[in-house]
């Protein structure tokens, strides 16, 4: 019997060196996204045109010496970002059957860099929650436990990224909407300074520079992937022409390299922001990695003044108050958003990196009134009840720097988690043919550098189209989606 074994590859290098092409990689991710959708309900719409887009990308760049830096990488799009010809309803029926006339500028920019958008992902209704649920697309489950939330408002993208259904995800953050899902799903993410990456043609926030800073960013599994993406995004002249309000500050590798030197750095940390006491797992995580604290005008001045007075280079603090909690508990925990919203108020860059998981003893300490007293604080009682039985769920730290010093943040993450594989993707290696995953959907084999089997592609497109039809009939049960057999005899058009 031939052995199937799981491997990891550097997908960026494989695409740049023509080991794979955009179409084969997109096919792999589309099948995986279907599998994830079956179990976690994180997808809103599949962009069927993405296959034509990948084919055109291959015609233009395959076997060429100079390829765009993100050539062939399929990525997911948060549902509040506009895609021409598709709805962007943020869970509101009033926005259904209202296809957008223009693409989100972030999507336009990533396309110009060679990446291929192929799916939109779920959000809470109006984006104002960290439970990822709405009456149109239903509820998204956490990658580790479908009965718990992946966070919000970018929860669908975080879930899909964590489960390997996309090479990287996209999101926005006005109170923690990138950082909360990243912490709950075990991902890396960065909320940059508000005007370092401005995005148009998307729902979210009040137009103009808001008091509570609205930022945009990415979900990845590794720090190196964040570096690659921000290297291309920060200070792009083409993007500045598209969105003039975006600050033309290029990626500054010298800031990154300076902070990787052996010069002594001064790092501030805290385990309790004085507003809500984190659960024991987060306190322990904060202590282990030396976490951070402090938190309108006068407050921002005081905060910045103290920062300079202490001469710190970065601040490390708990990513959130709780790990992922059951969906029904989120409504009572809105005060927890203070942990992330503070840095939107300050407009300080802040990012997330996973470092640990909740341990059995953390659960025990949480339930012990002496170890983790709640007194008469009803919010802390809600926190205790919601965070009970969290063993095994991801824990993360939040790293904060001064405005426009995102490069220092990326370097600090590299210190916390060392991992040299960029865009590593799980594949099955079988007889020299690569692709995809062993799952309830089945094993898809696509030979490297060979033309995709037409029947395979037709079958996949049909499944994605069927998903779209289910949504049109307001049938949100993905149990009704039947995955077809990929034998050639079953691959013909119906």
pLDDT at 145 over 80: yes
Closest CA to 129 of 343, 328, 387: 328
pLDDT given at position 10? 81
Size of the chain in residues: 494
pLDDT at 265 over 90: no
Averaged over 116-142, what is the pLDDT? Answer: 95
User: Who has greater pLDDT, 436 or 205?
Assistant: 205
With contact defined as beta carbons under 8 Å apart, do 362 and 279 qualify? yes
Q: State the alpha helices, DSSP H only, in 290-356.
A: 297-310, 338-346
Confidence of residue 387 (pLDDT cuts 50, 70, 90): very high
Confidence of residue 448 (pLDDT cuts 50, 70, 90): very low
With contact defined as beta carbons under 8 Å apart, do 417 and 223 qualify? yes
pLDDT at 4 over 50: no
Q: How far is CA 270 from CA 280, 284, 298, in A?
A: 14, 11, 22
Confidence of residue 430 (pLDDT cuts 50, 70, 90): very low
pLDDT given at position 316? 83
The answer on whether 177 is annotated among ligand-binding residues is yes
With contact defined as beta carbons under 8 Å apart, do 176 and 337 qualify? yes
The answer on whether 175 is annotated among ligand-binding residues is yes
User: What is this structure's pTM?
Assistant: 0.81
> Could you tell me whether strands 188-191 and 350-357 are parallel, antiparallel, or unpaired per DSSP bridges?
antiparallel
Percent of the chain with pLDDT over 70: 76
The position carrying tokens 């996949």 is: 460
The answer on whether 316 is annotated among ligand-binding residues is no
pLDDT at 442 over 50: no
Residue 458 CB partners (closer than 8 Å, separation 6+): 491, 492, 493
Whether 153 sits among the annotated catalytic residues: the reply is: yes
The answer on whether 174 is annotated among ligand-binding residues is yes
Residue 88 CB partners (closer than 8 Å, separation 6+): 79, 80, 81, 82, 95, 100, 120, 202, 203
Buried b (16+ CB within 10 A) or exposed e, 228-243: bbbbbbbbbeebbebb
Whether 189 sits among the annotated catalytic residues: the reply is: no
pLDDT given at position 478? 30
Q: Which residue of the set 78, 144, 221, 412 is catalytic?
A: 78
Largest Cα–Cα separation, the chain: 72
pLDDT given at position 419? 39
Q: Which residue of the set 62, 133, 153, 422 is catalytic?
A: 153
With contact defined as beta carbons under 8 Å apart, do 182 and 188 qualify? yes
The answer on whether 24 is annotated among ligand-binding residues is no
pLDDT at 46 over 70: yes
Whether 263 sits among the annotated catalytic residues: the reply is: no
Rounded to 5 degrees, φ, ψ at 182 are -60, -45
What's the pLDDT tens digit per position in 302-335? 889 989 988 888 888 889 999 999 999 999 998 9
In the chain, count H helices and then E strands: 16, 15
Q: 72-76, 186-190, 229-233, 428-432: lowest mean pLDDT where?
A: 428-432
The answer on whether 351 is annotated among ligand-binding residues is no
pLDDT given at position 9? 56
- Count CB atoms within 10 A of the CB of residue 369: 9
When the pLDDT of each residue in the chain is averaged and rounded to a whole number, the result is 80
Q: Which domains does the chain have, with CATH numbers?
A: 5-428 (3.90.1300.10)
- Count CB atoms within 10 A of the CB of residue 350: 30
Confidence of residue 356 (pLDDT cuts 50, 70, 90): confident
> Could you tell me whether strands 138-139 and 133-134 are parallel, antiparallel, or unpaired per DSSP bridges?
antiparallel
pLDDT at 40 over 90: yes
- Count CB atoms within 10 A of the CB of residue 381: 13
pLDDT given at position 455? 62
Q: Which residue of the set 62, 129, 172, 177 is catalytic?
A: 177
């Amino acid at each position: 019997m031939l052995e199937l074994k799981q491997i990891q590859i550097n997908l960026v290098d494989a695409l740049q060196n023509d080991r794979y092409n955009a179409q084969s990689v997109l096919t792999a991710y589309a099948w995986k996204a279907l599998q994830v959708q079956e179990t976690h309900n994180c997808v809103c719409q599949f962009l069927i045109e993405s296959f034509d887009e990948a084919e055109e990308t291959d015609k233009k760049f395959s076997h060429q010496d100079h390829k765009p830096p993100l050539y062939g990488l399929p990525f997911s799009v948060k549902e509040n970002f506009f895609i021409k010809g598709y709805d962007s309803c943020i869970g509101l029926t009033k926005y259904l059957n209202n296809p957008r006339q223009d693409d989100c500028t972030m999507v336009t920019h990533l396309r110009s860099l060679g990446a291929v958008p192929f799916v939109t992902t779920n959000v809470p209704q109006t984006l104002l929650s960290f439970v990822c649920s709405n009456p149109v697309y239903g509820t998204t489950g956490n990658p580790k436990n479908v009965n718990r939330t992946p966070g919000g408002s970018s929860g669908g993208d975080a879930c899909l990224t964590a489960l390997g259904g996309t090479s990287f995800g996209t999101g926005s953050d006005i109170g923690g909407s990138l950082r909360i899902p990243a912490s709950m799903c075990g991902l890396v993410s960065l909320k940059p300074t508000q005007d370092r990456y401005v995005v148009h043609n998307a729902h979210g926030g009040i137009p103009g520079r808001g008091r509570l800073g609205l930022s945009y960013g990415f979900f990845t599994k590794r720090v190196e992937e964040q570096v690659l993406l921000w290297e291309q995004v920060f200070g792009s002249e083409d993007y500045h022409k598209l969105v003039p309000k975006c600050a033309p500050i290029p990626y500054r590798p010298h800031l990154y390299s300076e902070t990787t030197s052996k010069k002594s750095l001064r790092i501030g940390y805290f385990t309790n922001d004085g507003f809500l006491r984190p659960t024991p797992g987060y306190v322990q995580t904060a202590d282990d990695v030396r976490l951070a604290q402090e938190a309108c005008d006068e407050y921002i001045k005081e905060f910045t003044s103290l920062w300079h007075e202490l001469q710190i280079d970065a601040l490390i603090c708990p990513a959130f108050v709780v790990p992922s909690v059951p969906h029904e508990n989120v409504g009572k925990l809105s005060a927890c958003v203070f942990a992330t919203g503070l840095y939107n108020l300050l407009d300080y860059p802040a990012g997330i990196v996973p470092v640990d998981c909740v341990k059995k003893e953390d659960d025990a300490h949480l339930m012990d009134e002496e170890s983790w007293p709640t007194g008469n604080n009803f919010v802390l009682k809600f926190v205790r009840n919601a965070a009970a039985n969290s063993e095994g769920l991801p824990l993360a730290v939040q790293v904060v720097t001064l405005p426009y010093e995102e490069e220092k943040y990326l370097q600090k993450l590299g210190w916390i988690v060392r991992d040299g594989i960029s865009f590593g993707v799980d594949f099955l290696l079988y007889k020299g043919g690569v692709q995809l995953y062993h799952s309830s959907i089945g094993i898809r084999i696509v030979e490297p550098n060979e033309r995709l089997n037409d029947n395979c592609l037709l079958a996949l497109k049909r499944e994605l189209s069927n998903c779209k039809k289910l949504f049109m009939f307001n049938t949100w049960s993905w149990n009704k989606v039947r995955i077809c057999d990929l034998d050639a005899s079953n691959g013909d058009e119906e």
